C-alpha cells in the first residue's frame, strides 16, 4: 500500500481501515480489496457489521498482516475476539454477537471529546454495552448522531465512498432510495457530564480495569477468595441492572446519579423503543432490558452502578440487605417471589447472587422455606435430596441441643409439646427438598406435618428464633460433612418393637442395695435403655413398656434425673451388651459438637449445658430431699438445665448409709480382683479403701467370692 497507518492503541479494525482510506483519499472498497477482505457480503448493506469486525479468520489475518505489516496479535485485539466469552458472546459459526447474552448490542457509543482529540479514531471498547462513560473527560458516551438520530456503526462504511473520520456515515433521513450520507460532525454532539468521583465513573473504571485482562478473575469479597470470572460478574450485573431499570422508582435511584443523568434515564424509560421501531407498543415488555442491552448510556450507567453496589458488598448477608429494596419493589409490582423463582428473574446467575436474593426475602419466607434454602447461614447451595441424613438423626434431638434450642414459656415449660422431636424433623428439613410428611416418617416420630409447621412458625416469632434455625442448619451441615458414629435408623428398626432389654432381677437386686425405698417395678429401666439406644422418646417404645399416660411420662422423666450413679452404670453396661449381641460397633450414646466459632454471636433460648461442671452440680446437691427449683436458684440457671445435668451426670443423693452401700457395690469388683489375683488380705484391702474389714468381707461374700482361711497365702502352710 502506498501509505501505511499505524493503528492507535485499542482502536477498532474498521476505524483503522477507514482512517487508512481517508489518508489514501480512495473509496473504502479499494482498501478492502487490497487487504483481501470481502466488500460485497450481505453485512455491507444490512444493519449489522461485517464479520471481520467481530472476529478475523486465519486467512484474513495472514492477508492483512502481509499487506500492512501489522502483527496478527495486534489485529485480533482490534476486533471483539479478545472479549469473547468474557464481555460478549460471539456465535462462532456466523461470527456474530449474541445480543441476548451479556447484553450484546448493535452499533457503538462514542465520546465526542475523544473523537476530537484523536481525529476521529474509534476505540473497539466503545462497541461493548459495558462502555457507557468516558473516565478521561467525565461524560457519558453519546448513543446517537444528533442530526440523523441514528446509532453510529450499525453497518460498514459505504464501500464506494471515501471515509470522513469523525463524521456520521449513516444515511441522511428522508433521503430516498439512495440517500446521501449524514456527515454531521460527531464531535459536536452534546455530552452529559458526570461527577469525577461519583458512582458512575467508579463503575466504568472498574469495568475498564477488568477489560484490560478479561481472562483474569474479578476478586470481589462476595465471590469468595478465588473471585469469579468476568462473564459471571457481568451476567450478575445484567440481571440486577435489568431489575433496577424495570422496577426501581426515581426515588430509589436518586443516590446513584446526578439529576441530569436521572432526567435522561427517565426520558429513556418512558419510551425505550427507538424512533421508527416497527414493533408494537405491546412488545415493549420484551425490550425492557432483561435480554437486550439498554439503548441509552444513562440507563446502562445507572443500572451497572446499582448492580455494583450490591455485588461489591462484603458478604452475602450485606448484599442481601443492599438488594432488599429491589426485591421488595419486584414483589410490590405483583410478581410472586419465592425462593424457587427469585433466583431465575434474569437467567443464569452466580450462586453468590442467588444466595443474596434468597436472603433478601428471608423475612417474607415461610419458616420451612428458610430451612430448605438455608438462608440463616447465607448459603450458596440450593436445596437438594438429603434424606440420608435421617440415619444420623435420633427421633428426638440430642438432649444437649434440645435444651439449647427449645423456646420456653416464663414458667419453664417448652413452647411446644414434643419440641425435641419437632427439632429433629426441622434438622432433617435443612437444605432438603423432602416433604414434611416424608421427613416425619424418616425420623420415626408420630408428630403431624401441621405440628412441624406450627412449631417452625413459633420459632420465627421468638426473639432468638432466627439463631435457632441457623443452629439447626449448622447441625445438618455437620452431619452431612462428618456423618455420625451411630446409625439411628438401624437401631430404631432393631429395638423399637422389643418389649424387654434387661433381666429385671439384676435391676431389682441393685435397687435393694442402693435405695432405702426401692421400686419393685423395673419398667423405667427398660424405658431408659430404649430411649438411650434408639434416641427415641419412651412413649414410642413397645406398648408393654411405653408410658401410656401423662403421669407415667412424668414419672419416667423423674426417674431419669433421680437415677443413682451405680444404677446408670448398670444400665450402660446392659446397653453395651445389647449392641455387642447384634454386632454393632458403635458408642452407646453420642452428641455432635460444633466449634465455638460456629456459634459465636448466636443467642439461643436455652443455656449452654457445659456452663455448669459436674463437680459444681454434685457440690450443690445436699442429701436426698433436694428441690429442682432450689438447685436451679443455687446454680443460677433454669430448672430444665438442672434436670438435663442430673440426667447426664447422676448425683449420689442417697443417705449416708446407702451411699456407703453404693460405694461398696461399685468397688466390689475391684476388691475381688485385689483379693483373688493380687492375693491381698482383707485387712490390706480395708486399709487401702479406708473402711472396715467387715465391710470388705461382706461385700466379697455377696459377690460370690470364696474366702481363704485366715492367715493363708500361696506357698504358706495352713495352720492346724
3-state secondary structure 563-595: CCHHHHHHHHHHHHHHHHHCCCCCCCCCCCCCC
The winner for highest mean pLDDT among 150-159, 282-291, 637-646 is: 637-646
Give pLDDT tens digits for 211-269.
Answer: 999 999 999 999 999 999 999 999 999 989 988 998 899 999 999 899 999 999 999 88
pLDDT > 50? residue 720: no
Residue, of 311 and 292, whose pLDDT is higher: 311
Looking at per-residue confidence, does 89 or 39 come out higher? 89
- Give residue 47's pLDDT band: very low, low, confident or very high (50, 70, 90): low
The pLDDT assigned to 275 comes to: 43
Does residue 182 sit in helix, strand or coil?
A: coil
Angle (CA) 518-519-524 rounded to 5° is 130
Give CA–CA dist 515/698, Å, rounded: 18
The residues facing 91 across adjacent strands are 96
End-to-end CA distance of the chain: 136
Here the cell at position 38 is: 470481502
Q: Mean pLDDT score of the chain, rounded to an integer? A: 87
Number of Cβ within 10 Å of residue 213's Cβ equals 11
Taking the C-alpha atoms of residue 334 and residue 356, their distance in angstroms, rounded to an integer, is: 21
pLDDT of residue 652: 79
Helix (H) or strand (E) holding 133: strand 133-134
Q: What is the pTM of this model?
A: 0.76
User: How far is the C-alpha of 126 from the C-alpha of 675, rounded, in Å?
Assistant: 97
What pLDDT, on a 0 to 100 scale, did the predictor assign at position 287?
A: 39
How many angstroms from the chain centroid is the CA of residue 63? 53
Measured N-to-C along each axis, helices 550-562 and 639-648 cross at an angle, to the nearest 10 degrees, of 60
Mean of pLDDT values over 159-164? 90
Assess whether pLDDT exceeds 70 at residue 33. Answer: yes
**Separation of alpha carbons 76 and 54, rounded Å:** 9
Confidence of residue 144 (pLDDT cuts 50, 70, 90): very high
The pLDDT-based confidence of 393 (bands split at 50, 70, 90) is very high
**Residue 155: pLDDT over 80:** yes
CA distances from 545 to 299, 370, 498, 655 (A): 73, 38, 9, 30
- DSSP class of residue 366? -
Q: Which of 137, 120, 9, 151 is nearest to 74 (CA)?
A: 9
pLDDT at 274 (0 to 100): 53
Bridge partner list, 218: 228
Q: What torsion, rounded to 10 degrees, do the Cα atoms 394, 399, 403, 407 define? A: 30
As a whole-number percent, the residues of the chain with pLDDT over 70 amount to 89
- Spatial contact of 534 and 492, defined as CB atoms under 8 Å apart: yes
Q: Residue 22's pLDDT is what?
A: 94
* Span 537-566, average pLDDT: 90
Residue 139's pLDDT band (cuts 50, 70, 90) = very high
For residue 43, name the pLDDT band (cuts at 50, 70, 90). very low
pLDDT in tens, 440-497: 999 999 999 999 999 999 988 899 999 999 999 999 999 999 999 999 999 999 999 9
Closest C-alpha to 264, from 239, 230, 240, 299: 299
Eight-class DSSP state of 306:
H
- Provide the 3-class DSSP secondary structure of residue 312: coil
Q: Is the pLDDT confidence value at 322 over 90?
A: yes
Q: Among 208, 136, 158, which residue's Cα sits nearest to residue 14? A: 158
**CB of 95 within 8 A of CB of 41?**
no
Nearest to 302 by CA among 349, 252, 347: 252
Residue 340: is its pLDDT beyond 60?
A: no
Contact 102, 87 (CB under 8 A): yes
User: Per-residue confidence at 512, pLDDT binned at 50, 70, 90?
Assistant: confident
299-303, 414-418, 582-586: least confident range: 414-418
Rounded-to-integer distance, Cα 650 and Cα 566, Å: 9
Of 309, 323, 406, 332, which Cα lies nearest the Cα of 358? 323
Sequence-distant contacts of 32-35: CB under 8 A, at least 24 apart: 32/159, 34/1, 34/67, 35/63, 35/64, 35/67, 35/68
Q: List Cα–Cα distances, 355 to 351, 359, 378, 554, in angstroms.
A: 6, 6, 6, 45
CB distance 432 to 383 below 8 Å: yes
Give the pLDDT score at 286: 40
> In the structure grid, which three cell numbers stand for residue 595, read together?
466449634
Ranked by mean pLDDT, the top range of 505-509, 517-521, 536-540, 565-569 is: 536-540
Judged by average pLDDT, the poorest of 57-61, 78-82, 506-510 is 506-510
C-alpha cell, 119: 481525529
pLDDT tens-digit series, residues 116-134: 999 999 999 999 999 999 9
Distance CA 368, CA 69 (A): 67
How far apart CA 562 and CA 172 sit, in angstroms, is 98
The label of the residue with cell 502483527 reads 71
Whole-number Å distance between alpha carbons of 234 and 308: 10
Average pLDDT for residues 363-372, to the nearest whole number? 86
pLDDT tens digits along 623-677: 666 788 888 899 999 999 999 999 999 987 765 655 566 567 678 888 888 888 8
Distance CA 534, CA 543 (A): 16
What pLDDT, on a 0 to 100 scale, did the predictor assign at position 517?
A: 65
Interhelix angle for 523-534 vs 550-562, to 10°? 80
CA distances from 384 to 428, 433, 434 (A): 12, 5, 8
Mean pLDDT of 576-599: 94
| Rounded Cα distance, 595 and 397, in Å | 18
- Structural element, H or E, at residue 91: strand 90-91
Amino acid at each position: 500500500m502506498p501509505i501505511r497507518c499505524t493503528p492507535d492503541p485499542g482502536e477498532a479494525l474498521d476505524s483503522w481501515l477507514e482512517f487508512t482510506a481517508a489518508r489514501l483519499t480512495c473509496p473504502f472498497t479499494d482498501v478492502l480489496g487490497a487487504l483481501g477482505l470481502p466488500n460485497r457480503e450481505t453485512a455491507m448493506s444490512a444493519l449489522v457489521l461485517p464479520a471481520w469486525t467481530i472476529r478475523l479468520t486465519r486467512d484474513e489475518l495472514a492477508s492483512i498482516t502481509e499487506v500492512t505489516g501489522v502483527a496478527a496479535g495486534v489485529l485480533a485485539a482490534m476486533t471483539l475476539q479478545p472479549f469473547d466469552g468474557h464481555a460478549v458472546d460471539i456465535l462462532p459459526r456466523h461470527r456474530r454477537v449474541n445480543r441476548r447474552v451479556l447484553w450484546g448490542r448493535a452499533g457503538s457509543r462514542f465520546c465526542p471529546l475523544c473523537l476530537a482529540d484523536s481525529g476521529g479514531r474509534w476505540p473497539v471498547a466503545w462497541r461493548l454495552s459495558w462502555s457507557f462513560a468516558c473516565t478521561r473527560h467525565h461524560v457519558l458516551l453519546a448513543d446517537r448522531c444528533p442530526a440523523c438520530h441514528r446509532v453510529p456503526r450499525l453497518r460498514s462504511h459505504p464501500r464506494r465512498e471515501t471515509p470522513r473520520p469523525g463524521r456520521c456515515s449513516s444515511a441522511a433521513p428522508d433521503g430516498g432510495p439512495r440517500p446521501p450520507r449524514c456527515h454531521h460532525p460527531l464531535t459536536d454532539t452534546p455530552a452529559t457530564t458526570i461527577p469525577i468521583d461519583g458512582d458512575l465513573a467508579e463503575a466504568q473504571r472498574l469495568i475498564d480495569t477488568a477489560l484490560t485482562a478479561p481472562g483474569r478473575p474479578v476478586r470481589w469479597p462476595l465471590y469468595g477468595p478465588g473471585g469469579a470470572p468476568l462473564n459471571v460478574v457481568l451476567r450478575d450485573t445484567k440481571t440486577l441492572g435489568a431489575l433496577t431499570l424495570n422496577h426501581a422508582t426515581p426515588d430509589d435511584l436518586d443516590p446513584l446519579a446526578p439529576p441530569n443523568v436521572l432526567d435522561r434515564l427517565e426520558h429513556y424509560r418512558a419510551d425505550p423503543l427507538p424512533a421508527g421501531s416497527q414493533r408494537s407498543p405491546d412488545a415493549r415488555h420484551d425490550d425492557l432490558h432483561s435480554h437486550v442491552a439498554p439503548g441509552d448510556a444513562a440507563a446502562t450507567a445507572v443500572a451497572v452502578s446499582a448492580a455494583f453496589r450490591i455485588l461489591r458488598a462484603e458478604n452475602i448477608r450485606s448484599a442481601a440487605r443492599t438488594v432488599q429494596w429491589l426485591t421488595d419493589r419486584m414483589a410490590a409490582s405483583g410478581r410472586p417471589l419465592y425462593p424457587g423463582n427469585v433466583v431465575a428473574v434474569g437467567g443464569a446467575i452466580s450462586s453468590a447472587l442467588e444466595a443474596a436474593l434468597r436472603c433478601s426475602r428471608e423475612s417474607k419466607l415461610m419458616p420451612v422455606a428458610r430451612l430448605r434454602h438455608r438462608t440463616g447461614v447465607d448459603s450458596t447451595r440450593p436445596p437438594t435430596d438429603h434424606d440420608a441424613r435421617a440415619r444420623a438423626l435420633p427421633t428426638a434431638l440430642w438432649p444437649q441441643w434440645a435444651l439449647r434450642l427449645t423456646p420456653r414459656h416464663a414458667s419453664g415449660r417448652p413452647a411446644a409439646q414434643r419440641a425435641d422431636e419437632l427439632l429433629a424433623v426441622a434438622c432433617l428439613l435443612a437444605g432438603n427438598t423432602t416433604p414434611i410428611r416424608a421427613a416425619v416418617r424418616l425420623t420415626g416420630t408420630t408428630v403431624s406435618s401441621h405440628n412441624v409447621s406450627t412449631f417452625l412458625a413459633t420459632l420465627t416469632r421468638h426473639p432468638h428464633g432466627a439463631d435457632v434455625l441457623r443452629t439447626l442448619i449448622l447441625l445438618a451441615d455437620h452431619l452431612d460433612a462428618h456423618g455420625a458414629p451411630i446409625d439411628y435408623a438401624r437401631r430404631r428398626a432393631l429395638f423399637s418393637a422389643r418389649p424387654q432389654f434387661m433381666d429385671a432381677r439384676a435391676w431389682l437386686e441393685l435397687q435393694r442395695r442402693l435405695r432405702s425405698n426401692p421400686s419393685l417395678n423395673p419398667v423405667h429401666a427398660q424405658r431408659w435403655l430404649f430411649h438411650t439406644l434408639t434416641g427415641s422418646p419412651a412413649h414410642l417404645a413397645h406398648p408393654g413398656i411405653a408410658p401410656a399416660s401423662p403421669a407415667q411420662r412424668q414419672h419416667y422423666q423423674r426417674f431419669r434425673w433421680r437415677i443413682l450413679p451405680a444404677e446408670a452404670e448398670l444400665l450402660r453396661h446392659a446397653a453395651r451388651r445389647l449392641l455387642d449381641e447384634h454386632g454393632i460397633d458403635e458408642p452407646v450414646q453420642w452428641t455432635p459438637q460444633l466449634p465455638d466459632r460456629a456459634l459465636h454471636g448466636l443467642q439461643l433460648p436455652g443455656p449452654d449445658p457445659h456452663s455448669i461442671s459436674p463437680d459444681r452440680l454434685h457440690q450443690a446437691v445436699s442429701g436426698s430431699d433436694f428441690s429442682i427449683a432450689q438447685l436451679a436458684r443455687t446454680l443460677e440457671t433454669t430448672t430444665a438445665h438442672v434436670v438435663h445435668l442430673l440426667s447426664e451426670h447422676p448425683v449420689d443423693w442417697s443417705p449416708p448409709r446407702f451411699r456407703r452401700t453404693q460405694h461398696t457395690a461399685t468397688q466390689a469388683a475391684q476388691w475381688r480382683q485385689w483379693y483373688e489375683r493380687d492375693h491381698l488380705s482383707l485387712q490390706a484391702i480395708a486399709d487401702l479403701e479406708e473402711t472396715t474389714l467387715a465391710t470388705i468381707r461382706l461385700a466379697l461374700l455377696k459377690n460370690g467370692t470364696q474366702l481363704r482361711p485366715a492367715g493363708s497365702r500361696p506357698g504358706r502352710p495352713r495352720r492346724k
